[in-house]
Amino acid sequence: MAALDLRRACMLVAVVGVGLLAAGCTVGPSRREVPEGRMSLKGTARQFGRGLTNLGLCWLEIPYQVEKQVAGSRIEHPFDAVGSTLNGAVGVVNGAIWGVGRGVGGVFEIILSPFPPYEPIVRPAYPPYVRPAEKPEPETAEPEAAPSE
């Protein structure tokens, strides 16, 4: 009986791992935008991956909101523990609310991924600390002027 439960747990971990791997593969920007109102495999995969990423990593909103709340506060005295504790608690509550919203948005993106439009439901489109890779800007070297004689 215990071996059967262990097999189920291993299968669940494998499925979640493959899902997160697939989400990471679809995070990059698209090279060609899909026309409005047309179904596309690329748009579906991008939205499905975005939904998996938002659902699987929605818990990252809690440390992000705590960091944002504590960094945004102005503590005048270094021993003002009450102020920093209160800001941390407010950050935890804000993070939980944002995390639930991001998780629900991820579920909707997964369910609605086959249907256009492929716009993100939650803004920003990805969880904090997880941003898609951006195309590097090509470096253009300006020709140096020849020294005047």
**Segment 92-119, tens digit of pLDDT:** 999 999 999 999 999 999 999 998 888 9
Reported confidence tier of residue 29, pLDDT bands at 50, 70, 90: very low
Long-range (24+ apart) CB contacts under 8 A made by 35-42 are 36/116, 36/117, 37/116, 37/117, 38/116, 39/114, 39/115, 39/116, 40/116, 40/118
Q: How much is the mean pLDDT over the chain?
A: 76
**Which domain covers residue 83, as residue numbers?**
14-27+38-127
Instruction: Tell me which residue has tokens 């800007």.
Output: 137
Instruction: Tell me which residue has tokens 């249907």.
Output: 115
Task: Tell me how long the chain is.
Answer: 149
**DSSP-based three-state secondary structure for 72:** helix
- Of 68-72, 76-80, 103-107, 127-131, which gets the smallest average pLDDT? 76-80
Does some domain include residue 147? no
* The two structure tokens encoding residue 93: 């509550």
For 147, phi and psi rounded to 5 degrees?
Answer: -65, 140
Q: Report the pLDDT value the prediction gives residue 130, as an integer from 0 to 100.
A: 82
More confident residue, 26 or 140: 140
Does some domain include residue 83? yes
Number of structural domains in the chain: 1
Does some domain include residue 6? no
Does some domain include residue 32? no
Whether the model clears a pTM of 0.75, i.e. scores above it, the answer is no
